[in-house]
Copies of this chain bind each other. A is one copy, B any other.
């Protein structure tokens, strides 16, 4: 029934229905919203076979279309993955209610009592790719924060998303949440995203979760405010004062812990003065992990020397000459750009020019240099003597990370539930008028 309704409704009509739901949702208690989360988790568990069955159809179609293995893995659901989605919904229940918090209380000179109180944003639109777990995740986060949501998942996951959204909606409505509090768009063509982006005044925020192309498209065309997430062209800068063993360990971790993540290092910057002592060991270690190196001239010379010296150890050193394009590339792969710099000013300038304001690290034992780096680099997270791999809501001690913002307004860096709230000023008087 829900499915039939959606397929004939316009994106605008769906968003308006969600807007109406959001009015009611915004006045529910935290307890009620937690009950909804429990019911939603329960529904996923109880109906796991149905979800897995729909997912199999998505998988079949995706395989027939020649989808890459890595995408298929993101798309695939089995009972244990459904269980993980349910558990994630329950994890939200124990977090404090983000609504109704009095952030500021003040009695004005005229006796008016002013409170600044946290409230939901209203309607949250999420646009994402073929990861059906995001459907449950986004719906849960929105219910927890009292927001209605409009979800637009990738076409590869259309059946999976539809059944998950329908079950979650039924479960939430079953315990008293308003109808239309969770809506998934059935149309998965790009025009649906474009329609969503035009709904200024109806949709309160748009959060794209996906590749750089999707995010850029949203930032450039949305009339609805966007929280820009994700792309990370991160650097590790090894200062002349660095402990070289520490630097090597940090670079390896930042580059090789996981290749496909936004907090992975993509460029290594090294002070020219220590290049000859530091780089041979560093490049060997990267070669040992199978990393392809895009080297500037000086690093290239080091690589040749390292290859010749280490030829007998049997490690194959893969390196090419870097082009300007490499400095701006987020490889998301076992590749790294390597560049020598004439000290901290050049390092900061390079990072501010090519970085994506995500995560940047310096390895240095000189506190003055570290301080200048921290002050001069424009990024959400700046590290001194630690790996960029820590940029993550969980590692930062937040609950329920939604994404990592690379913009500066509203939310920066890893963001969680509070980013889906706003506030209102409530002023209670006894007839005050302004002179």
Chain A residues in the interface with B (C-beta under 8 A)? 23, 26-27, 106, 108, 112, 114, 121-122, 200, 204-205, 219-220, 223, 225, 227, 243, 246, 249-250, 252-254, 257, 352, 370, 374-376, 378-387, 389-391, 395-397, 407-410, 412-413, 422-434
> Is A427's CB under 8 angstroms from B382's CB?
yes
How many copies of this chain?
A: 2
Given contacts A390-B112, A429-B384, contact A412 B408 (CB under 8 A): no
Partner of A431, one of B112, B250, B410, B412: B250
Given contacts A220-B200, A250-B431, A390-B434, contact A397 B106 (CB under 8 A): yes
> Is B122's CB under 8 angstroms from A389's CB?
no
Report 22 cross-chain contacts, Cβ distance below 8 Å, ordered by A residue.
A26-B375, A26-B378, A27-B376, A106-B396, A122-B408, A200-B219, A200-B220, A205-B408, A225-B407, A253-B434, A254-B433, A379-B424, A381-B427, A382-B425, A382-B427, A383-B427, A385-B429, A385-B431, A386-B431, A390-B427, A390-B434, A391-B425
**Closest beta carbon of chain B to A12's beta carbon, Å:** 15
Q: Closest residue to A112 on the B side, CB-wise?
A: B386
> Is A121's CB under 8 angstroms from B408's CB?
yes
Partner of A429, one of B23, B386, B424, B426: B386
> Is A382's CB under 8 angstroms from B223's CB?
no
> Is B396's CB under 8 angstroms from A422's CB?
no
Q: How many angstroms between the C-alpha atoms of A410 and B391 in the bound complex?
A: 22
Q: How many angstroms between the C-alpha atoms of A254 and B433 in the bound complex?
A: 8
